[in-house]
Amino acid sequence: MSEPTKHRNIEELLVADINTLTVDEMTRRQSVVTLMKAERELEVVNEQNRRFQDDKETRQRQVSSNLENIRKQDEENARVQKMCRHKTGGKDRQGFFMGDGDVYGFAVSKQILPTGEIYGLCFRCQKEWHNPIWTGGKRKVVNGEMTLAQYVQQEREYKEMLSWTCKTFEGQQGELPGGHMFLIPNLQRQQQKDQADFEVYLKTLNPTEIAMSGYQLSA
């Protein structure tokens, strides 16, 4: 008669010679091994999840830090552009945005783009002046993304810029720097359509509204 084997605990089961195990013990040992394997796999998965989460947080931090930097830069640009007089001259660092323009006038370069658009760029604060025709202004007014008064204001600032003397950037005859021109049919068609829709839009306004915006109806 074989001696009744005493009940083995898990450690004993795992180290025991397989030939000494009963069928029941083998089944138990098999279950323990399977369970331990499952636990190791779970640890691996948890570790992967943790790393994925860390990476995700790092990425999110980078994105929000980039956005924050862009926002700060935009704020700084806006601050400087408000302060800048867009003129040449001025003394020292503090005077950089406080030019007097006595000798060369404005520090603004008038550029002609290949589309035929002329725009202004301040070389001190990087402010740009665009005719609203070229920045989709009429379409924006029709779509309600810009008020007629804002349109008039942009156009007014643009025209004022055009009248400035900018000797530093002008050729000898005062001609503007620019490259070859291209006629872009799609762009022209778009502008004609914007113009037509803009005129239809103006007809929906009453004369007081138009007068309030400062818009000059062409005769």
Footprint on this chain of Zn ion (rule: CB under 5 A):
84, 86, 122, 124-125, 127
Residue nearer to Zn ion on the CB measure, 125 or 146: 125
Taking the least distance from each CB to Zn ion, the nearer of 29 and 127 is 127
Contacts of 1 (CB under 8 A, 6+ apart): none
Query: Which one, 85 or 138, has the nearer CB to Zn ion?
Result: 85
Shortest distance, position 75 Cβ to Zn ion, whole Å = 16
Closest distance between Zn ion and the C-beta of residue 56, in Å?
42
Could you tell me the end-to-end alpha-carbon distance of the chain, in angstroms, rounded to an integer? 123
The smaller minimum CB distance to Zn ion, of residues 27 and 77, is found at: 77
The string of DSSP letters for 115-182 reads: TS-EEEEETTT--EE--GGGGTHHHHHHTTSS-HHHHHHHHHHHHHHHHS-BGGGS-TTSPPPB----
- The least CB distance from residue 84 to Zn ion, in Å, is 3
Q: What's the min distance (Å) between Cβ of 87 and Zn ion?
A: 8
Which structure tokens are listed for 140?
């924006």
Nearer to Zn ion, 158 or 198 (CB): 158
Check: CB of residue 127 under 8 Å from CB of residue 86.
yes
CB of 173 to Zn ion, least distance (A): 25
Q: Which two tokens stand for residue 158?
A: 């643009």
